[in-house]
Chain A
Amino acid sequence: MYIYDEIDQQLVDERVAQFRDQTNRFLSGKLSEDEFRPLRLQNGLYIQRLAPMLRIAIPYGFLSSPQLRKLGEIARKFDRSYGHFSTRQNIQLNWPKLEDVPEILAELATVQMHAIQTSGNCIRNTTTDQFAGVAFDELIDPRPYCELIRQWSTFHPEFAYLPRKFKIAVSGSVEDRAATLVHDIGVHAVRDASGEVGFKVLVGGGLGRTPIIGHVIRDFLPREHFLSYLDAILRVYNRYGRRDNKYKARIKILVKELTPAVFAEKVEAEWLHLKDGPSAVTEAEFERLRGFFVDPAYETLPQEDASFHAKIAENKGFSNWVKRNVFKHKKPGYAAVTLSLKKTGVAPGDATSDQMEAIADLADQYSYGEIRVSHEQNLILSDVKQSDLFEVWEKAQALGLATPNIGLLTNIIACPGGDFCSLANAKSIPIAEAIQERFDDLDYLFDLGPIDLNISGCMNSCGHHHVGHIGILGVDKNGEEWYQVSIGGAQGYQASLGKVIGPSFAREQMADVIEKLIDVYVDIRHEDEVFIDTVRRTGIEPFKTRVYGEARAAANA
Chain B
Amino acid sequence: MAKIIKDKQIVEDQWLTIKLGAEGASPEIPVAGNIIVPLKLWLAKKAELQQRQGQTGVWLDSNEEPAPLADDLPNLPLIAINFPQFADGRGYSIARLLRERFGFKGEMRAIGDVLRDQIFYMHRCGFNAFEVRADKSIEDALTAFNDFSDGYQTSVDQPVPYFRRRLSGGN
Contacts and interface: CB of A to CB of B under 8 A. Distances in A.
Nearest to A31: B117
Contacts of A14: 147-149
Interface residues of A, number: 39
Contact of A278 (B86, B89, B148, B160): B160
Nearest to B154: A279
Contact residue range for chain B?
35 or more
B153 A160 contact: no
Contacts of A285: 163-164, 167
A278 B87 CA distance: 28
Interface stretch (A4-12, A97-105, A478-486): A4-12
Interface in B81-99: 86-90, 92-94, 96
B151 A155 contact: yes
Interface string A16-45: 001000100000001100010011000000
B166 interface: yes
Contacts of A288: 163, 167
A410 to B, nearest CB: 41
Interface string B146-166: 011111111100011111101
B19 interface: no
A540 B15 CA distance: 67
A422 interface: no
A460 interface: no
A466 to B, nearest CB: 28
Contact of B150 (A7, A22, A279): A7
B163 A160 contact: no
A493 interface: no
Interface in A155-184: 155-162
A300 interface: no
A405 B35 CA distance: 70
B153 A238 contact: no
Contacts of A438: none
B117 A279 contact: no
B166 A238 contact: no
Contacts of A279: 153-154, 161
Interface string A276-292: 01110110110010000
A477 interface: no
A121 interface: yes
A71 B166 CA distance: 30
A87 B89 CA distance: 27
Interface of B: 86-90, 92-94, 96, 101, 115, 117-118, 120-122, 124-125, 140, 147-155, 159-164, 166-167
- A-B pairs with the 8 shortest C-beta distances? A161-B89, A157-B124, A157-B121, A285-B163, A279-B154, A151-B152, A158-B92, A14-B148
Given A121-B87, A155-B121, 15 more contacts: A7-B150, A10-B149, A30-B140, A154-B152, A155-B148, A157-B92, A157-B121, A157-B122, A157-B124, A157-B125, A161-B87, A161-B92, A227-B153, A279-B153, A285-B163
12 contacts: A10-B149, A11-B151, A14-B147, A14-B148, A22-B117, A35-B117, A155-B121, A157-B120, A158-B89, A277-B154, A278-B154, A278-B159
